[in-house]
Structure 1
Amino acid sequence: MKKGLLYAILASVLWAIVNPFIKQGLSYDFTPMNFAGLRFTSVGVLLFAYTWHKGMWQEIKLHRKLFLNLIFINMFMGYTAFYFGVDFVSGAISSIIMGMTPLINVLLAHLLASNDKLNGYKIVSLIISLAGLLLIVGMGSDGEPLDWKGITGIILLLLSIIFQGYSAISVSEEKGKVNPIFLNAVQMFFGGALIYVIGLGTEGYHSFIGKPAGFYISLGILVFISVFAFSFWFMALQSKGAKVSDINMCRLINPILGAVLSWIMLAGESPTFSTVAGMLIIVSSLVIYFKGAEIVKYIGTRK
């Protein structure tokens, strides 16, 4: 379990870096699906080169339900919604909304996983995180109410969390059956290729040749993150004794680190009362989730 949490923390730290670099990459006259497809297909090629082995096509066929789940639901549906969501809202707000991932996945695990049910402290955590979300939804990064585009972006980000949470439960239920790095290779290559092809049809072709150095730096960092983050994540989900809900709580690292990086790296983005307050409220739910019983016990002894 501790090993699983370590892998989850490593993946979460890497994912927290993602949003500012996506915003930077898209700023170079590039569209969300073209950029996402290019990134993930590149990751898949690198991982396939590392995990290529005899009988892998038979392995894919044997576990086709899991692979199709990851390719279509996790990658295609999840990341299409994610990239458009990130494009519609500020980097800080997208980081904070994605910080809702663990708490939404706690609810999904309760509904779908075989042995991962809610208790009183988890329910309180969900309610508190919802209050933080409502505070963020009501205000933009400049402290003004969000327009329809910003609200749509938040809805898309929430949908991406649900799609990816469902896939995470599927991976956890298949512990030990597929090498996690090979699992990542298959979903990245085929999912990325599907996103790119659909992007060509809906967004048109956008050349990635001759772009400024900043574009390739952003793309390279995102490829590096995807190579390791998802591999660490699948290792965490497949660790013995690990529960999807507990592993997902590590992703509350994302809203703090991701928002701070957005404020530092992206021009025109700075902390406001609403975003900071929403972030603190969401993160406080982590304390209740893991330490709720101890807090109640401590208060009882002080009376």
Structure 2
Amino acid sequence: MKKGLLYAILASILWAIVNPFIKQGLSYDFTPMNFAGIRFISVGIILFAYTWHKGMWREIKQHSKLFLNLICINMFMGYTAFYFGVDFVSGAISSIIMGMTPLINVLLAHLLASNDKLNAHKIISLIVSLVGLLLIVGMGSDGEPLDWKGITGIVLLLFSIIFQGYSAISVSEDKGKVNPIFLNAVQMFFGGLLIYLVGLGTEGYHSFIGKPAGFYISLGILVFISVFAFSFWFIALQSKGAKVSDINMCRLINPILGAMLSWTMLAGEYPTFSTVAGMLVIVSSLVIYFKGPEIAKHIHKNK
């Protein structure tokens, strides 16, 4: 379990720095699905070079349900919603919304996982997190109320969390059946290819040749993150004794670090009262999740 938490923390730190670089890459006259497709295909090629082995096509066929789940739901549906969501809202708000991943996944785990049920302090933490979300939805990065595009972006990010949470439970339920790095290679390459092909049909072709250096730096950093983050995440989910809800709580790192990086790196983004307050409320809901039993025990003891 400790090994699982360590890998989950490493993955969460890497994911926390993703959103500003996606915003930066898209700013070079590029579209979300084209950009995501190129990123994930590149990651898949790198990981295939590392995990290529005899009988791997037989292995993919043997676990076709798991792989199709990851390619279609986690990668295609999850990341299509994620990239458009990030494009529609500020980097800080997208980071904070994605910070709700643990709590939404706690609810999904209760509904879908066989050994991961809700209790009183988990329910309280979910309610508190919704208050934080309402604070963020009310205002944009400039302190003004969000328009329809911003609200659509938040909804897409929430759908992304649900799609990826469902896939995470599938990986956790299939502990030890597939090498986690090979699992990442297959979902990245084929999921990225699917995203890119659909992007060509819906967004048209956008050349990635001859772009400014900043574009390639952003793309390179995102490829590096994907090579390691999902591999670490799958190792965490498949660790002995690991529960999806507990592993997901490590992602409390995302809203804080991601928002701070956005405010530092992206022009025109700065902290406002509503976004900071929403972030603090969401983080406090995670503290309730982790420390709820201890707090309840302490209150009962002092009565």
2:266 is aligned with 1:272: no
Corresponding residue number in structure 1 for 2:131? 131
Q: Shift of the alpha carbon at 1:300?
A: 3.7
Corresponding residue number in structure 1 for 2:10? 10
2:151 is aligned with 1:151: yes
Corresponding residue number in structure 2 for 1:262? 262
Q: Shift of the alpha carbon at 1:302?
A: 4.3
Q: Tell me, what secondary structure is at the counterpart of 1:251?
A: helix
Q: Shift of the alpha carbon at 1:142?
A: 1.1
Corresponding residue number in structure 1 for 2:117? 117
Residue 27 of structure 1 aligns to which amino acid in structure 2?
S
Superposition pairs of residues 1-303 of structure 1, within 5 angstroms: 1-303=1-303
Residue 227 of structure 2 aligns to which amino acid in structure 1?
V
Q: Tell me, what secondary structure is at the counterpart of 1:208?
A: coil
Deviations 1:139-182 (A, max 9, x none): 11111110000000000000000000000000000000000000
Q: Tell me, what secondary structure is at the counterpart of 1:283?
A: helix
Q: Shift of the alpha carbon at 1:135?
A: 0.7
Residue 174 of structure 1 aligns to which amino acid in structure 2?
D
For residues 233 and 96 of structure 1, the distance between their equivalents in structure 2, rounded to whole angstroms, comes to 20
Any gaps of 5 or more consecutive residues in structure 1? Answer: none
For residues 299 and 19 of structure 2, the distance between their equivalents in structure 1, rounded to whole angstroms, comes to 39
For residues 181 and 164 of structure 2, the distance between their equivalents in structure 1, rounded to whole angstroms, comes to 17
Q: Tell me, what secondary structure is at the counterpart of 2:239?
A: coil
For residues 148 and 291 of structure 1, the distance between their equivalents in structure 2, rounded to whole angstroms, comes to 37
Any gaps of 5 or more consecutive residues in structure 2? Answer: none
For residues 297 and 112 of structure 2, the distance between their equivalents in structure 1, rounded to whole angstroms, comes to 31
Residue 153 of structure 1 aligns to which amino acid in structure 2?
G
For residues 15 and 144 of structure 2, the distance between their equivalents in structure 1, rounded to whole angstroms, comes to 28
Identity %: 90
Q: Shift of the alpha carbon at 1:207?
A: 0.5
For residues 293 and 41 of structure 1, the distance between their equivalents in structure 2, rounded to whole angstroms, comes to 44
Deviations 1:205-248 (A, max 9, x none): 10000000000000000000000000000000000000000000
Q: Shift of the alpha carbon at 1:297?
A: 2.4
What's the TM-score, normalizing by structure 2?
A: 0.99
Q: Tell me, what secondary structure is at the counterpart of 2:152?
A: helix
Q: Shift of the alpha carbon at 1:296?
A: 2.2
For residues 87 and 246 of structure 1, the distance between their equivalents in structure 2, rounded to whole angstroms, comes to 30
Aligned CA RMSD, in angstroms, stands at 0.7
Residue 163 of structure 2 aligns to which amino acid in structure 1?
F
Runs of 4 or more off by more than 6 Å in structure 1? none
Residue 277 of structure 1 aligns to which amino acid in structure 2?
A
Q: Shift of the alpha carbon at 1:298?
A: 2.3
For residues 121 and 176 of structure 1, the distance between their equivalents in structure 2, rounded to whole angstroms, comes to 31
For residues 33 and 131 of structure 2, the distance between their equivalents in structure 1, rounded to whole angstroms, comes to 32
For residues 302 and 183 of structure 1, the distance between their equivalents in structure 2, rounded to whole angstroms, comes to 50
What's the TM-score, normalizing by structure 1?
A: 0.99
